Amino acid sequence: MERAVETLRDVFGFDGFRPGQEEIVRAAMAGEDVLAIMPTGGGKSLCYQLPALLHDGVTVVISPLIALMRGQVAQMRELGIAARSLNSANDDGENALAIQEAEAGELRLLYLSPERLARPGTVAMLRRVGVTAIAVDEAHCVSQWGHDFRPEYRAIGGVREQLDGVQVLAFTATADALTRKDIEERLFPASPRVFLRGFDRPNISLAMTPRGNGRKQLLDFLAAHRGESGIVYCQSRRRVEETADFLASQGVDAAAYHAGFPPEQRNAVQDRFLGEDGVVVVATVAFGMGIDKPDVRFVFHMDLPKNIEGYYQEIGRAGRDGLPAAAHGLYGMGEVRQYRQWIDQGDASDEQKRIERGKLATLVAFCEALTCRRVTLLAYFGEEAGACGNCDLCRGEVETVEGTVEAQKALSAMIRTREMFGMQHLIAILRGEKTENVQKHGHDALPTFGVGADTPKTQWQGIFRQLDAAGLASVDPSAEYASWKVTEAGWKVLKGEETVMFRKPSRSRSTERVAKAPVDTSGADETVLAALKALRVGLARERNVPAYVIFPDRTLIEMATALPRDREALGRIHGVGGRKLESFGEAFLDEIRSVAGVSA
């Protein structure tokens, strides 16, 4: 471990391990199989990169996206680490060079997609190379219970056997207990060392808001994040394009990204996002898994993700540098109903459908929670936590009111219509609206007709969402009218045995206060920081690499705070290892001296 600590400082420029890393590195260096579940931004990559430098032979890294490979290979090579990738985006010469260097024993890391791994001839090539370990990134993709199952990942276990049982190191940030068990069975012949390092990302501020005027809500949010890099997620390609066009018309530096665009267009957007500051990408979930940009300051969901794991994975793209970041989402009952229909009408087994319904229910409960969001989120992954102080609920931005009477009215409407009707029909009854359907079924004669006339329709929609989230009522999306039914817990409320609290409706959802967790640059010289960022962009363009590959924001902030005058002082800054000091040291020192007016 002494060599590991020296390499950590000299190559990576880090004074010490992040929490949880040292134990994993120690196990990896001892030759043990490892399954590590670590929060996004927790430093998973280092846990296989560092042992790869200290062991003989090649570590093969299975990575799900070409973009992720490109970014990591660029990072490694800037650190002076021999790394290459084999993928379909390379030309024949690049792939031939990667194989040549691997077979010559010149590489430490060889990145492959699971599809490339399964190609004929790949295993034979890896035998010649002398592979000593397989590192599996985004390991949840191997599990049918994971939110992002990739059948190609199933080949990894067989390849391991063909390579005489080499060491396997598997990493993911998103795996509940069922998924973890499946990963173990698929990748390891015997139980690996399992490291469960928690799921909390305390630097990310969490907030969820019922959708009102979605575009206005988005603009209000972006106004608090001017000049910052971020991602806006939408469920459909059409919504992505319309939202990006709208933001551009409002002066936001926004670009659209989805799988329907040609590869060259997607690559151009991705390169801009990685290489420049302040770009907002509006995208489907096709954008993100391959993005390792550490200074994404926010993630905004225009639409609700499909499950709690997808939400966690997507917000995890923010704040990987450990600095403050924000995750804000909009939601509505319509999309929840749509997701339920997709689950029920899908081809999955009954067991899989049951699990997916449970995940969606957890997400709805998270949206409509009345206590700390982080407690709800972490509880899903089996982790206990106290109130975080860094979500809209903890900050007191969501008020609660006694709602037992309103709940009883809504539940009574369900019972009196024999639990056969959907939300809109039930709200019409409660509000005393003589719609064609209400009159057709004689529901204007019910005792509950008009008992909620003084409550706006939008407020009733919120009440129904919260009844669902609290487990007091459930929806049967397979029924003709997506009918609502009263649960056992709901009957207790109906009988007056339990009380209910609801979120207090906001006066104007489009103008709700948006909390911003600012990155602390109070000690930094802002003029120097701006100059260093500009220098970083120029150097990144020269090398055709993402800007963070040169230095992340945290490093630049420390430079602009400490104002190092010489190479020795610069070398003490976080993230400035020996290779980067040699490559970029003088350029950044010259910029600091010039702008800050300090002498060497």
Average pLDDT, rounded, for the chain: 88
Least confident window among 8-17, 329-338, 412-421, 482-491: 329-338
Domain contains 386: no
Same-domain status, 268 and 366: yes
Please give the C-alpha separations between residue 427 and each of 95, 402, 432, 435, 535, in angstroms, as whole numbers: 62, 20, 8, 11, 59
pLDDT digits (tens, 9 = 90+) for 136-164: 998 988 887 666 678 888 889 989 999 98
As a whole number, mean pLDDT of residues 537-561 equals 90
CATH code of the domain containing 324: 3.40.50.300
Same-domain status, 333 and 405: no
Q: How far is CA 216 from the centre of its chain?
A: 24
DSSP-assigned beta bridge partners for residue 193: 34
Domain contains 305: yes
- Within a 13 Å sphere around the CA of 105, how many CA atoms are in the beta-carbon half? 4
Same-domain status, 437 and 563: no
Q: Using an 8 Å Cβ cutoff, are 2 and 570 in contact?
A: no
Same-domain status, 244 and 370: yes
Cα-Cα-Cα-Cα torsion 541, 543, 548, 554, nearest 10 degrees, comes to: -90
Cα-Cα-Cα-Cα torsion 19, 23, 26, 30, nearest 10 degrees, comes to: -150
Domain contains 389: no
519 band by pLDDT with thresholds 50, 70 and 90: low
For residue 82, what is the enclosing H or E element? none
506 band by pLDDT with thresholds 50, 70 and 90: low
CATH code of the domain containing 464: 1.10.10.10
CATH code of the domain containing 539: 1.10.150.80
Same-domain status, 224 and 348: yes
Q: How many domains does the chain have?
A: 4
As a whole number, mean pLDDT of residues 458-480 equals 82
Same-domain status, 254 and 286: yes
pLDDT for 110 beyond 70: yes
Per-residue pLDDT, 168: 96
Per-residue pLDDT, 532: 94
Same-domain status, 258 and 177: no
Per-residue pLDDT, 505: 66
Which of 163, 196, 229 delimits the end of a domain?
196
pLDDT digits (tens, 9 = 90+) for 236-270: 999 999 999 999 999 999 999 998 999 889 888 98
Same-domain status, 373 and 413: no
Closest CA to 269 of 249, 261, 326: 261
Per-residue pLDDT, 512: 44
Domain contains 241: yes
As a whole number, mean pLDDT of residues 19-37 equals 94
Domain contains 412: yes
Domain contains 581: yes
Same-domain status, 25 and 118: yes
DSSP-assigned beta bridge partners for residue 110: 60, 84
Question: What is the number of other CB atoms lying within 10 angstroms of the CB of residue 493?
Answer: 23
pLDDT digits (tens, 9 = 90+) for 185-223: 999 999 999 998 878 889 999 999 988 899 999 999 999
Per-residue pLDDT, 508: 43
Domain range for 561: 526-596
Same-domain status, 22 and 167: yes
Same-domain status, 342 and 273: yes
29 band by pLDDT with thresholds 50, 70 and 90: very high
Domain contains 385: no
Please give the C-alpha separations between residue 254 and each of 187, 232, 302, 371, 443, in angstroms, as whole numbers: 40, 9, 15, 34, 49
Which of 196, 227, 260 delimits the end of a domain?
196
Which of 196, 215, 247 delimits the end of a domain?
196
Assign 176 to helix, strand or coil: coil
Q: How far is 176 from 392, CA to CA, in rounded Å?
A: 25
Please give the C-alpha separations between residue 382 and each of 175, 177, 198, 276, 399, in angstroms, as whole numbers: 10, 8, 9, 38, 28
pLDDT digits (tens, 9 = 90+) for 341-400: 888 888 888 888 888 888 888 888 888 888 899 998 888 888 888 899 999 999 888 888
- Give 24-56 as a DSSP string: HHHHHHTT--EEEE--TTS-TTHHHHHHHHHSS
Q: How far is 551 from 554, CA to CA, in rounded Å?
A: 8
Same-domain status, 104 and 191: yes
Domain contains 26: yes
